[in-house]
């Protein structure tokens, strides 16, 4: 090094070059060290990348496995959910699941069909508010229904067009539910219309049997002396032929006795179950006969009689005269309920056309049925009288016998049918008769127009198909 220094001292021009060479050499050594460190770091990074890539592959495989399991789980959940939905839809009772705040969460189609409420429009709404809007709560209030608690039953009435449906309401706590956040309770709605009618009919039959036996005995006891009174009054009338005033008085006595005897005869008809002489007749035939007769009756106010016959003209096995008596009785009652005139509608249709009535009359379980509706725009029947109008001797008319509708009911039942009534005070009354039909009858109606005080018959072409 000392000799190098001497040379540098001896040759000053080389001094600068040598110093630069030394500096560059140091930088190269540093650069070499840096490259070496970089190579080591790159190798370490490559090893880490390889490890990371391997880990990512493992995670991808694990994620793929979990995704498959999740997809399988979702598919299974969907299958279970669909299965439960099918179970819910298959239940005959209406089911409405309520969550916190008694709000509508889930329902089945039976609930919509039974109540006539489209619950999809009211999802998230308070169930009892919706219920009060649609239910005819004649004998209770929403407050009373809510106070029933769980497991208690209550019969509610809903209106379906011109019909009333009786629904058995029950509220059940959802088992296993610890909170009401998602589902708290289940409202169960069962259509008991048919059973309610059968129950009412059975109760009515019990009263009819008891009253029928008593009436038959009373009629037999009373008619014998009445016959004697009429005979002696007739003899007395002949003897008083020269006394005009007394002859007239005795005539009134004879007329009163005959009216009483006629009333007693009606009582006997009522107590003796009618035995129809069955023959195959079109429904329109006996309806037209009765309507034509009523159309010819004199009246002070105009009456518009409208016939709306279904395009399918059914035939039934029935007694033409007895069925005509049913129609006449209902038509005359309607006329009396419309002293200021009005509209009277005779309408026929298939009993199966109304889905809300499925199984409600029992006719469909045996064979197809025909529905016949007699509707007026008269004064209507008070709600407290509706359950009694088919009871014998019940009447709100002055001088009425109270047997007309009871006899109608007996005739309808003798034909294997059922009758029901719907009415609103001041709006009118409708009687619906359901009768089993025979064979398949199809036809087309070309008219249903009726004038005031007279009837223009609908022209129907009927074809019987075996």
| CB of 196 closer than 8 Å to CB of 155 | yes
> What architecture is the 279-465 domain classified under in CATH?
2-Layer Sandwich (3.30)
| CB of 396 closer than 8 Å to CB of 343 | no
Domain boundaries, given as residue ranges, for the chain = 2-89, 94-191, 198-271, 279-465
Q: Do domains 94-191 and 279-465 have the same CATH topology?
A: no
- Half-sphere exposure of residue 218: CA atoms within 13 angstroms, side-chain side: 15
Higher pLDDT, 274 or 82: 82
Percent of the chain with pLDDT over 90: 4
Question: What are the tens digits of pLDDT across the range 339-357?
Answer: 888 889 999 987 654 433 4
* Rounded mean pLDDT, 393-422: 82
Phi–psi pair at 439, nearest 5 degrees: 70, -175
- Whole-angstrom CA distances from 265 to 82, 120, 253, 271, 393 are 65, 57, 18, 10, 14
| CB of 168 closer than 8 Å to CB of 180 | no
pLDDT of residue 458: 33
Cα–Cα distance for residue pair 384/401, rounded to 1 Å: 19
Question: What are the tens digits of pLDDT across the range 45-66?
Answer: 888 888 888 888 888 888 888 8
Provide the H-helix boundaries in 91-192.
109-115, 127-134, 142-146
Closest by CA to 113, choosing from 366, 459, 354, 390, is 354
Closest by CA to 344, choosing from 302, 310, 314, is 302
* Least confident window among 56-60, 97-101, 185-189, 333-337: 97-101
pTM, to two decimals: 0.49
Cα–Cα distance for residue pair 338/375, rounded to 1 Å: 11
Higher pLDDT, 275 or 462: 275
Domain 94-191's class? alpha beta
Provide the H-helix boundaries in 94-192.
109-115, 127-134, 142-146
């Amino acid at each position: 090094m000392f000799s190098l220094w001497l040379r540098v001292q001896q040759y000053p021009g080389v001094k600068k070059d040598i110093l630069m060479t030394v500096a560059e050499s140091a930088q190269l050594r540093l650069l070499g060290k840096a490259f070496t460190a970089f190579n080591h770091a790159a190798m370490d990074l490559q090893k880490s990348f390889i490890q990371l890539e391997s880990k990512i592959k493992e995670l991808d495989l694990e994620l793929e496995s979990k995704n498959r399991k999740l997809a399988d789980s979702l598919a299974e959940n969907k299958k279970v959910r669909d299965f439960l939905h099918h179970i819910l839809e298959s239940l005959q009772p209406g089911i409405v699941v309520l969550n916190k705040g008694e709000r509508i969460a889930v329902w089945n189609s039976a609930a919509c069909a039974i109540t006539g409420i489209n619950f999809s429009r009211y999802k998230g709404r308070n169930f009892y508010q919706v219920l009060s809007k649609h239910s005819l709560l004649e004998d209770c209030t929403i407050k009373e229904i809510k106070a029933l608690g769980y497991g208690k039953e209550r019969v509610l009435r809903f209106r379906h067009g011109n019909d009333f449906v009786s629904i058995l309401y029950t509220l059940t706590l959802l088992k296993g539910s610890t909170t009401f956040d998602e589902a708290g309770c289940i409202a169960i709605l069962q259509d008991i219309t048919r059973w309610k009618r059968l129950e009412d009919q059975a109760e009515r039959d019990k009263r009819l049997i008891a009253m029928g036996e008593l009436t038959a005995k009373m009629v037999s006891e009373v008619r014998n002396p009445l016959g004697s009174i009429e005979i002696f009054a007739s003899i007395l009338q002949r003897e008083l032929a020269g006394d005009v005033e007394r002859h007239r008085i005795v005539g009134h006595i004879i007329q009163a006795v005959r009216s009483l005897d006629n009333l007693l005869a009606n009582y006997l008809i009522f107590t003796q179950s009618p035995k129809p002489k069955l023959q195959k007749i079109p429904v329109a035939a006996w309806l037209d006969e009765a309507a034509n007769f009523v159309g010819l009756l004199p009246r002070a106010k105009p009456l518009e009689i409208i016939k709306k016959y279904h395009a399918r003209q059914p035939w039934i096995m029935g007694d033409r005269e007895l069925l005509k008596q049913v129609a006449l009785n209902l038509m005359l009652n309607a006329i009396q309920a419309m002293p200021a005139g009005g509209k009277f509608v005779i309408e026929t249709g298939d009993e199966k056309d109304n889905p809300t009535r499925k199984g409600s009359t029992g006719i469909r379980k045996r064979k197809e049925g025909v529905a016949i509706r007699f509707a007026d725009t008269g004064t209507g029947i008070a709600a407290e009288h509706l359950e009694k109008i088919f009871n014998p001797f019940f009447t709100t008319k002055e001088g009425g016998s109270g047997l007309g509708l009871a006899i109608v009911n007996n005739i309808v039942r003798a034909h294997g049918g059922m009758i029901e009534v719907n009415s609103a005070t001041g709006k009118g009354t409708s009687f619906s008769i359901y009768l089993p039909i025979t064979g398949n009858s199809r036809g087309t109606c070309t008219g249903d127009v009726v004038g005031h005080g007279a009837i223009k018959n609908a022209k129907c072409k009927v074809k019987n198909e075996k």
